[in-house]
């Protein structure tokens, strides 16, 4: 019985305010320094926030810096783990301050995007357990007897756990300037283990499930049509400048800066408490188990490509919302009609800038707009090449229809404004609907289309733009 795990790494460090400075060093180091002073006489500090995450494991024996594409939780050859009962992988993490400013940090383990056995809620999250140590993992820690001991192994039911907290580290998660004693954290060992359970493990063996329905037609064994159960494993690192670091405005000038959100609970709280015009920054992959309403006038932006998966962002009818650089991946719902972004009777200003939409189920974006709506979709990528099967009620069958239904559907009125600029559409031919990209109800003088590309323009239907001006086939 084999389980495949797509291990992905997301390393994110951020705060939000007026100054956003990103330094990309060798090995994909990410560093941001922010200043939240709104005064016109603000003095920009010369210091910088620069934090690194180092790791070792059974394959990497000398500490290496974790980058955007680092493969974590591997086997002894550095390859992705084939998860099965008794399989184990581990990592050792150390946070290091390489900048001039003291900082507070947050380090968390992420388990996201777990598919399920079709028609059930069973996933690898049910069987994988995690143990966090306040020291490097030793050979004793991964011996069979130590692993069988359930003490300190936990399930990650909400998709994320704080590594220092789980290690029972009472110290403040703070690092001093580089070169100082205390510029590095202690090393934390993280063990991920499939604790065998003979009474239940057979339930996760896909060979025990039918691959054909009663009529003899092939059916998917997993929720996303994959041939195995899979899960994304990674870490999130967030950092903010320590409050005692000051400039000419005093030591508490950034006390109102928004701390980056890295899990579902923090995102929900940030959206509930946001004031008009606030910025929320995503620093970790988040799987939504229910639609997330966005009712405030906010900007949501991603740091390092943080991804939203699962249920939809639902923008309320009057909210002015800007989404910057956010990756929407694998929208999934219990009725197999997942959409990444929805808005109904929309009358506000919606901006999607440099966002990525991947693996749609029913669609990526579905918006019904009123005459007063103003919608801009700029520099976004819509990719349906590896879409999951969706439930199409018109078939009258319980089987999933192959691929996504479509990629984008925007329905407006005379007066609705829509700008589509510099977007890329791929995988349109794989969609089930006759038109993969649909825009209707918007007058020609209310619509702007420029510099868009698509791999199949025949699947694009834009009313009042029959010649598809502003679209090119790549």
Instruction: Give residue-wise pLDDT tens across range 45-91.
Output: 335 668 889 999 999 999 999 887 788 999 889 888 889 999 999 99
pTM of this structure:
0.58
Residue 334 CB burial class (10 angstroms; 0-12, 13-18, ≥19): exposed
**What pLDDT shows up at residue 390?**
82
**What pLDDT shows up at residue 48?**
61
**What pLDDT shows up at residue 394?**
67
Q: Would you say residue 304 has pLDDT above 70?
A: no
210-240 per-position pLDDT tens digit: 888 888 888 888 887 888 898 888 887 777 6
Residue 75 CB burial class (10 angstroms; 0-12, 13-18, ≥19): middle
Most confident segment among 64-73, 251-260, 302-311: 64-73
**What pLDDT shows up at residue 308?**
92
Average pLDDT over residues 376-404: 81
**What pLDDT shows up at residue 13?**
32
Residue 212 CB burial class (10 angstroms; 0-12, 13-18, ≥19): exposed
Which is nearest to 270 in space by CA: 295, 236, 237? 295
Instruction: Compute φ and ψ for 335, nearest 5 degrees.
Output: -95, 10
Q: Where are the domain boundaries for CATH 2.160.20.10 in the chain?
A: 261-473
Count H helices and E strands in the chain, helices first. Answer: 3, 33
% of the chain at pLDDT higher than 70: 82
Average pLDDT over residues 347-358: 95
**What pLDDT shows up at residue 96?**
92
Which is nearest to 56 in space by CA: 190, 182, 153? 190
**Mean pLDDT computed over every residue of the chain:** 81
Does residue 340 contact residue 313 with C-beta atoms inside 8 Å? yes
Q: Would you say residue 159 has pLDDT above 60?
A: yes
Q: Could you tell me which residues are beta bridge partners of residue 82?
A: 4
Q: Quick one: CA dihedral 334, 335, 338, 344, positive or negative?
A: negative
Kindly report which listed range (3-17, 224-238, 377-391, 460-474) carries the lowest average pLDDT score.
3-17
- Could you please state the CATH topology (level 3) that the domain comprising 261-473 is classified under: Pectate Lyase C-like (2.160.20)
Q: Would you say residue 415 has pLDDT above 90?
A: yes
Kindly report which listed range (24-28, 159-163, 215-219, 405-409) carries the lowest average pLDDT score.
24-28
**What pLDDT shows up at residue 243?**
58
Residues 6+ apart with CB under 8 A from 188: 92, 93, 94, 107, 132, 133, 134, 135, 163, 164, 167, 169
Does residue 112 contact residue 286 with C-beta atoms inside 8 Å? yes
**What pLDDT shows up at residue 110?**
80
Residues 6+ apart with CB under 8 A from 204: 1, 3, 117, 122, 124, 126, 127, 229
Q: Please indicate whether residue 51 or residue 394 has the higher confidence score (pLDDT).
A: 51
Q: Please indicate whether residue 172 or residue 189 has the higher confidence score (pLDDT).
A: 189
Integer Cα distance of 287 and 158 in angstroms = 9
Residue 248 three-state SS: coil
Q: Please indicate whether residue 241 or residue 321 has the higher confidence score (pLDDT).
A: 321
**What pLDDT shows up at residue 24?**
25
Q: State how far the alpha carbon of 183 is from the alpha carbons of 56, 149, 331, in Å.
A: 19, 34, 40
Q: Confidence band (pLDDT; 50, 70, 90) for 312?
A: very high
Does residue 338 contact residue 364 with C-beta atoms inside 8 Å? no
Q: Confidence band (pLDDT; 50, 70, 90) for 457?
A: very high
Average pLDDT over residues 192-200: 91
Q: Other CB atoms closer than 10 Å to residue 267's CB: what's the count?
A: 19
| Helix (H) or strand (E) run with residue 148 in it | helix 144-148
DSSP 154-180: B--TTSEEEHHHHTT--S--EE--TTS
Q: Would you say residue 440 has pLDDT above 90?
A: yes
% of the chain at pLDDT higher than 90: 45
β-strands 232-241, 103-112 pairing: antiparallel
Q: Other CB atoms closer than 10 Å to residue 70's CB: what's the count?
A: 20
Q: Confidence band (pLDDT; 50, 70, 90) for 192?
A: very high
Integer Cα distance of 232 and 73 in angstroms = 10
**What pLDDT shows up at residue 47?**
52
Average pLDDT over residues 255-276: 75
β-strands 424-426, 452-454 pairing: parallel
Integer Cα distance of 315 and 323 in angstroms = 11
81-123 per-position pLDDT tens digit: 889 999 999 999 999 988 887 877 878 888 877 888 988 889 9
Integer Cα distance of 398 and 431 in angstroms = 19
The two tokens of residue 110 are 């992420």
**What pLDDT shows up at residue 193?**
94
4-45 per-position pLDDT tens digit: 443 334 333 333 322 222 222 222 222 223 222 222 222 333
Q: Categorise residue 77: left if φ over 0, alpha if ψ from -120 to 50, beta otherwise.
A: alpha
């Amino acid at each position: 019985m084999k389980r495949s795990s797509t291990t992905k790494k997301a390393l994110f460090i951020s705060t939000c305010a007026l100054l956003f400075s990103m330094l990309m060093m060798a090995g994909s180091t990410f560093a941001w320094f922010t200043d939240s002073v709104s005064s016109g006489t603000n003095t920009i500090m010369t210091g910088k926030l620069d934090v690194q995450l180092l790791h070792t494991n059974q394959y990497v024996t000398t500490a290496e810096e974790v980058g955007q594409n680092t493969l974590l939780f591997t086997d002894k050859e550095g390859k992705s783990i084939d998860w099965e009962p008794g399989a184990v992988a581990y990592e050792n993490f150390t946070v290091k301050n390489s900048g001039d400013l003291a900082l507070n940090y947050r380090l968390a383990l992420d388990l996201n995007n777990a598919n399920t056995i079709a028609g059930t809620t069973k996933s690898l999250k049910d069987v994988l357990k995690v143990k966090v140590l306040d020291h490097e993992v030793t050979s004793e820690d991964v011996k069979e007897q130590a692993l069988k001991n359930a003490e300190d192994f936990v399930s990650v039911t909400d998709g994320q756990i704080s590594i220092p907290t789980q290690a029972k580290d009472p110290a403040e998660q703070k690092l001093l300037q580089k070169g100082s004693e205390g510029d590095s954290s202690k090393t934390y060992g993280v063990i991920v283990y499939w604790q065998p359970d003979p009474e239940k493990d057979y339930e996760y063996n896909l060979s025990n499930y039918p691959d054909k329905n009663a009529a003899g037609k092939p059916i998917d064994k997993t929720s996303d049509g994959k041939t195995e159960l899979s899960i994304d494993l990674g870490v999130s690192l967030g950092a903010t400048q320590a409050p005692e670091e000051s400039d000419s405005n005093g030591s508490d000038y950034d006390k109102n800066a928004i701390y980056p959100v890295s899990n579902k609970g923090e995102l929900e709280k940030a959206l509930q408490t946001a004031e008009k015009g606030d910025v929320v920054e995503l620093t970790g992959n988040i799987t939504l188990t229910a639609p997330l309403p966005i009712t405030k006038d906010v900007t949501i932006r991603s740091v390092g490509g943080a991804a939203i998966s699962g249920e939809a962002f639902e923008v309320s009818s009057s909210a002015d919302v800007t989404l910057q650089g956010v990756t929407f991946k694998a929208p999934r719902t219990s009725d197999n009609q997942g959409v990444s972004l929805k808005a109904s009777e929309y009358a506000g200003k919606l901006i999607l800038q440099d966002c990525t939409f991947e693996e749609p189920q029913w669609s990526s974006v579905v918006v019904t707009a009123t005459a007063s709506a103003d919608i801009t979709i700029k520099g976004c990528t819509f990719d349906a090449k590896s879409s999951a099967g969706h439930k199409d009620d018109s078939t009258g069958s319980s089987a999933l229809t192959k691929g996504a239904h479509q990629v984008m559907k925007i329905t407006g009125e005379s007066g609705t404004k829509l700008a589509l600029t510099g977007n890329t559409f791929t995988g349109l031919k794989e969609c089930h609907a006759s038109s993969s990209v649909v825009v209707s109800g918007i007058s020609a003088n209310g619509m702007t289309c420029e510099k868009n590309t698509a791999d199949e323009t025949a699947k694009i239907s834009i009313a009042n733009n029959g010649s598809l001006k502003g679209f090119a086939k790549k």
